[in-house]
Amino acid sequence: MAVKPVKMRGKLAEGVAEIKALMPHPMETGTRRTEAGELIPAHFIQEVMCEHNGALVLRAEWGTSVSKNPYFAFKVAEAKAGDEVVIRWLDNLGETSEGRLTLK
């Protein structure tokens, strides 16, 4: 399955950036079955790393109960226009993808 980039949006207000992201990903729990009854193997994002101008500011670990095409919103302090925010995820099958956003 082609890995898709993280879609991101940012809103800057008084030095705090509100970051919103949508990560196209099937997020299979490993307990679901196809109509034919076969078990669909677990395939879910396990780790999300968020960087602000290169510095890691937030690291999330997710279990199997985060929804499909995960939505993730967080805030970054001491932010100003021109700063770069990067979100990178890693799933249990070793796939990874990322999104980059330059704050305006």
Partner 1 sequence: MNMNVSRRHVLRGLSLLIGVAALPRQLFARATGAFQAKEVDQVMQQLFGDLPVTLSDQVILKIPSIAENGAVVPVTVSSDVAGVEAIYIVIDANPNPLSATFELGATSPADVSTRVKMGQSSMVRGLVKTSDGVLMAQQEVKVTIGGCGG
Partner 2 sequence: MLNRLMIMSLLLAAASLRADPPSDLKAFRAFFEQRFANIEIDDHRDGAYALDAAKREQWLSMEDFPPYEIAIEAGEALFAESFADGSGYVDCFENGGMGVKQTFPRFDVGANTVQTLELAINECRKAHGEAPLDYASETMGALTAYMAYTSRGETFAITVPPEGLAAYNEGKAFFYARRGQLNFSCAGCHVASAGGMLRAEILSASVGHATHWPTYRLKWEQVGSLHKRFNECNEQVGAEGLPEQSASYRNLEYFLSYMNNGMTLNGPASRK
Query: Does residue 66 touch partner 1 according to CB under 8 A?
Result: yes
**Residues 52, 101: contact at Cβ < 8 Å?**
no
Query: Does residue 73 touch partner 1 according to CB under 8 A?
Result: yes
Structure-block tokens of residue 55: 């510095």
Provide the minimum distance between the beta carbon of 65 and partner 1 in the complex, in angstroms, as a whole number. Answer: 4
**Sole window of 4-12, 33-41, 66-74 interacting with partner 1 (rule: CB under 8 A):** 66-74
Residues in touch with partner 2 (CB under 8 A): 4, 7, 9, 20-22, 24, 68-69, 71, 73
Residue (80 or 100) nearer to partner 2, CB:
100
Query: Does residue 98 touch partner 1 according to CB under 8 A?
Result: no
Residue 22: beta bridge partners?
7, 71
Query: Does residue 43 touch partner 1 according to CB under 8 A?
Result: no
Choose from partner 2, partner 1, none: what does 54 bind? Cβ within 5-8 Å by kind.
partner 1
